[in-house]
Structure 1
Amino acid sequence: MRAFTASLTGTSLEWYDFAVYSAASALVFGKLFFPSEDPLTGTLLAFSTYAVGYVSRPLGGFVFGRLGDVIGRKRVLVATLVLVGAATFLIGCLPTHAVAGPIAPILLVLLRFAQGVGVGGEWGGAVLLTSEFGNARQRGFWASAAQIGPPAGNLMANGALAALGALLTEDQFLSFGWRIAFLLSGVLVAFGLWIRVRLEETPVFKGMEAVGERPEAPIREVFTTQRRPLAAAVFSRVAPDVLYAMFTVFVLTYATEELGMARSKALGAVLIGSALQIFLIPLAGALSDRLNRRRLYLGAAVAAGVWPFVFFPMANTGSWGLLVLGVIVALVIHSAMYGPQAAFVAEQFTPRLRYTGSSLAYTLAGVIGGAVAPLVFTALLGSFGLWLPLAGYILVTAVLTVIGVLVGRDPDHGEDDSYRRLVEGAGAEPEDRAGAGRP
């Protein structure tokens, strides 16, 4: 349970940092760092910096993913937490375009890049931290700790911005209020580090160390021997990323600029949905341990492709209640994919390549999924002025995820068990892990 707590708190804090930037991109960065006569153009430029945080993730996946398989999970997770927290704190100190001119958005992009590098190395380790301590047959639940981080961080980030928006006037919020949410990162990261540094290395990694099975070139091995697992893991992540970008980020822009709703109401809809996800994600992860994980994932992916065609007509009525309902249903569907996702992705790779493979899958999927999604949504809406292209885009990503889940494999629990026995003192040599323990 200590590993579950360490994974949950650390990932939540890193996603607070990432999410507060995402929300600020939709609400204030267009005005402060990318001033333009056309509000949509300013928002598009702000979302471009949002995308940088995803584009830089593969670098984090390459660097920290490799280190996680070579030097251990714990050390890497401490480094990623410090990197993301420092970048977020510094964003809160940045001068705006009105003060520093073009240098302001340049510095913003650089710090967003650093955020992405840290998050890119965080996810794979956070998943393994809990799943390699917990029972492999309950990996869906244990690994979901890392998955709770995004909605928890999103809840904290949007909650902080909503509270600041309620307490301050519009001018005060644009002047200094938004900075407070970023500067809080320093306190939150210190708390996360206190928890993580006290944790031991995972028993699976200790077992690999005991028999000298740590890889020397894990990135090369993944790309040469794990192509199908990597493709399955990447595609499985695309629709969840795009769905999440729509219903936690772009929905703020759509509700305020297209539907004319107050910013507080738009944030409220996202806050309610994110709060529910904190409970729905571990529930979905646990459910995937009892049912076939891939079938649950497939059903949710199909629902993800269909729901936008229901949501937009509901939201376009202008009813805040229907907007909230639409966001909640979307995030329930997202939870049904996102809860089992960490276990599904980790299970595609053997333990000795698991950090590298999971990190690469996570970050590469982020580039083709979550990174470009707000940009695509904004461009489609600006070009067509209709919701149908937005829904069609989500449908295409759902098809990719269905393909990824279909070509993936079911778990092989024996891979972990053999390493655990070494650490527990049984003295057994690692068994043939090609098929041992396969359900």
Structure 2
Amino acid sequence: MTTSSTYSDSTPAAPVNSPARVATASFIGTAIEFYDFYVYATAAALVIGPVFFPSGSGTAQMLAAFLTFGIAFMARPLGSALFGHFGDRIGRKSTLVASLLLMGVSTTLIGVLPGYDSIGVWAPITLCILRFGQGLGLGGEWGGAALLATENAPPGKRAWFGMFPQLGPSIGFLAANGLFLGLALGLSDEQFRAWGWRIPFLLSAALVLVGLYVRLKLEESPVFAKAIADNQRVKMPVLDVFAKHWRPTLLGAAAMVVCYALFYISTVFSLSYGVSTLGYNRETFLGLLCFAVVFMALVTPLSAWLSDRYGRKPVLIVGALLAIASGFTMEPLLTSGSTAGVALFLAIELFLMGVTFAPMGALLPELFPTQVRYTGASAAYNLGGIVGASAAPFFAQKLVSMGGLSWVGGYVSAAALISLLAVLCLKETRNARL
């Protein structure tokens, strides 16, 4: 496997961005992008089906909503190829600005899109197009933010700096769900379905302006600037990645599967199942999710610190083994009839999400040389989402009707096993040079 350690070992240029600026820019951008992404995920579990699809059975509308949820994950690898190309050819900074704009515009337009009752079949068609735009934007976001952090990190602290974009999903999810929780508490069901659900989408416009302001203050990463000076750019990074670096791309993608499965089964599917089957109201279950995601946010810095101290592989192996075991807790905890049992399951899954997700901010960039790092890291990150997340809520809905929650728990365990095998096949990258 080719890693970045096989490339130039000359002393890199001194950082031109302060640590505080790097941490702020990488964190704020991913927090905003994931806020936009999770706003849709939460809406898909609560309201997208009835608003944008023909009236019929509630299950059919829910499945249709989950299919639109999955569209973005199909778009994300395309986004990683598109934005990765320009990120490796032109620079990290300008590409990150473009991805943030695309995500913000797509999200805001969903907030003003008329429903099926107003424009008929054009409602779901346009919704799918905008959801595709969200996927393209997020496909280019994470890789650039991770590179921004790791390429500016001091020696021995790449995972710690790479932790800041990994905090973005926790904070973005907390903001999205917290806002939906506030709306659920303050509005009636009729008000929420009529117009209340649109407010989180419309707020994206203001958040994107904040993110743009921060990112436009950045300078280009010194590692990339050195690659430009040494004329190391390739004409078609995506072709180079799949021709010369296909093995780390596939193994990196497989290593990411557990993160996606843990997160989207415990949030999107569990939210839908908790409200529709377990009998919880929206505000109660959203509150439980907000409680549980705090554990993900708290363990992310710890996991990053451990992966800098002991290596990426030991942390990921332990996390994957625990995730395999966690799948067996899904049915007994969710069907216990106890709110404490439900809260415990959600906390366990999101805690393990933080454990397995934090080291990825350093691991995936470390698998690739500078001239294709944006494309390679983004591709691995987003290809993992196709297996672990794109159809996870849809398949979970099918699995629970076929065999119950134990089958859904088996899906989580199987996803964790895939990631465990991939991590075992990877070389330790903690000491690789960027």
TM-score between both structures, scaled by the size of structure 1 = 0.92
Task: Name the amino acid aligned to 1:399.
Answer: L
Task: List aligned pairs for 1:322-361, cutoff 5 A.
Answer: 322-361=341-380
- Comparing 366-375 and 87-96, the one that deviates more: 366-375
The counterpart of 1:208, out of the listed 208, 227, 249, is 227
**Residue in 2 that maps onto 1:101:** 120
**Residue in 2 that maps onto 1:81:** 100
The answer to whether residue 207 in structure 2 is matched with residue 188 in structure 1 is: yes
SS in 1 for 2:156: helix
Task: Name the amino acid aligned to 2:65.
Answer: A
Report if aligned partners of 1:162, 1:267 keep a CA contact under 8 Å in 2.
Answer: yes
Q: Cα 1:136–1:46, aligned 2, differ >3 Å: closer, same or farther?
A: farther
SS in 1 for 2:114: coil
Tell me, in whole angstroms, the C-alpha distance in 2 between the residues paired with 1:137 and 1:346. 15
1:207-257 residue CA offsets vs partner (Å, 9 max, x unmatched) = 111211122221111111112211210100011101111112111011111
Deviation at 1:414, TM superposition (A): 5.6
The answer to whether residue 119 in structure 2 is matched with residue 119 in structure 1 is: no
Tell me, in whole angstroms, the C-alpha distance in 1 between the residues paired with 2:286 and 2:323. 22
Deviation at 1:164, TM superposition (A): 0.8
**Residue in 1 that maps onto 2:407:** 389
Task: Name the amino acid aligned to 1:410.
Answer: E
SS in 2 for 1:135: coil
- Segments of 5+ residues of structure 1 without an aligned counterpart are 417-439
The total of aligned residue pairs comes to: 415
Report if aligned partners of 1:69, 1:356 keep a CA contact under 8 Å in 2.
Answer: yes
Tell me, in whole angstroms, the C-alpha distance in 2 between the residues paired with 1:387 and 1:43. 17
Report if aligned partners of 1:348, 1:408 keep a CA contact under 8 Å in 2.
Answer: no
**Residue in 1 that maps onto 2:38:** 19
The answer to whether residue 428 in structure 2 is matched with residue 415 in structure 1 is: no
Report if aligned partners of 1:69, 1:214 keep a CA contact under 8 Å in 2.
Answer: yes
**Residue in 2 that maps onto 1:4:** 23
Report if aligned partners of 2:323, 2:416 keep a CA contact under 8 Å in 1.
Answer: yes
Deviation at 1:286, TM superposition (A): 1.4
Tell me, in whole angstroms, the C-alpha distance in 2 between the residues paired with 1:351 and 1:303. 33
Report if aligned partners of 1:347, 1:410 keep a CA contact under 8 Å in 2.
Answer: no
Report if aligned partners of 1:284, 1:335 keep a CA contact under 8 Å in 2.
Answer: yes
Report if aligned partners of 1:350, 1:415 keep a CA contact under 8 Å in 2.
Answer: no
Tell me, in whole angstroms, the C-alpha distance in 2 between the residues paired with 1:407 and 1:151. 28
Deviation at 1:351, TM superposition (A): 2.1
Deviation at 1:412, TM superposition (A): 6.2
**Residue in 2 that maps onto 1:433:** none
SS in 2 for 1:84: helix
The counterpart of 1:228, out of the listed 231, 247, 252, is 247
SS in 1 for 2:358: helix
Task: Name the amino acid aligned to 1:364.
Answer: L
Deviation at 1:111, TM superposition (A): 0.3
The answer to whether residue 286 in structure 2 is matched with residue 267 in structure 1 is: yes
The answer to whether residue 238 in structure 2 is matched with residue 219 in structure 1 is: yes
Task: Name the amino acid aligned to 1:132.
Answer: E
Deviation at 1:398, TM superposition (A): 1.1
**Residue in 2 that maps onto 1:365:** 384
1:142-166 residue CA offsets vs partner (Å, 9 max, x unmatched) = 1111111111111111111110111
- Comparing 403-412 and 294-303, the one that deviates more: 403-412
Task: List aligned pairs for 1:61-72, cutoff 5 A.
Answer: 61-72=80-91
**Residue in 2 that maps onto 1:401:** 419
- Segments of 5+ residues of structure 2 without an aligned counterpart are 1-19
SS in 1 for 2:273: helix
Report if aligned partners of 2:296, 2:352 keep a CA contact under 8 Å in 1.
Answer: no
Tell me, in whole angstroms, the C-alpha distance in 2 between the residues paired with 1:114 and 1:176. 22
SS in 2 for 1:260: coil
Tell me, in whole angstroms, the C-alpha distance in 1 between the residues paired with 2:109 and 2:130. 8
- Comparing 359-368 and 84-93, the one that deviates more: 359-368
Backbone CA RMSD of aligned residues: 1.2
Task: Name the amino acid aligned to 2:416.
Answer: A
Tell me, in whole angstroms, the C-alpha distance in 1 between the residues paired with 2:305 and 2:208. 28
The answer to whether residue 157 in structure 2 is matched with residue 138 in structure 1 is: yes
1:113-137 residue CA offsets vs partner (Å, 9 max, x unmatched) = 0000000011100000011111242
SS in 2 for 1:42: helix
**Residue in 1 that maps onto 2:296:** 277
Tell me, in whole angstroms, the C-alpha distance in 2 between the residues paired with 1:102 and 1:380. 29
The answer to whether residue 249 in structure 2 is matched with residue 243 in structure 1 is: no
**Residue in 2 that maps onto 1:295:** 314
- Comparing 349-358 and 181-190, the one that deviates more: 349-358
Tell me, in whole angstroms, the C-alpha distance in 2 between the residues paired with 1:284 and 1:176. 40
Identity over aligned pairs, percent:
38
Tell me, in whole angstroms, the C-alpha distance in 2 between the residues paired with 1:136 and 1:70. 25
Report if aligned partners of 2:311, 2:429 keep a CA contact under 8 Å in 1.
Answer: no
Report if aligned partners of 1:125, 1:355 keep a CA contact under 8 Å in 2.
Answer: yes
Report if aligned partners of 2:312, 2:429 keep a CA contact under 8 Å in 1.
Answer: no
Report if aligned partners of 1:347, 1:409 keep a CA contact under 8 Å in 2.
Answer: no
Tell me, in whole angstroms, the C-alpha distance in 1 between the residues paired with 2:113 and 2:379. 31
TM-score between both structures, scaled by the size of structure 2 = 0.93
**Residue in 2 that maps onto 1:198:** 217
Tell me, in whole angstroms, the C-alpha distance in 2 between the residues paired with 1:365 and 1:21. 20
**Residue in 1 that maps onto 2:9:** none
1:337-377 residue CA offsets vs partner (Å, 9 max, x unmatched) = 00111211111112222111001111211112210111110
Task: Name the amino acid aligned to 2:85.
Answer: R
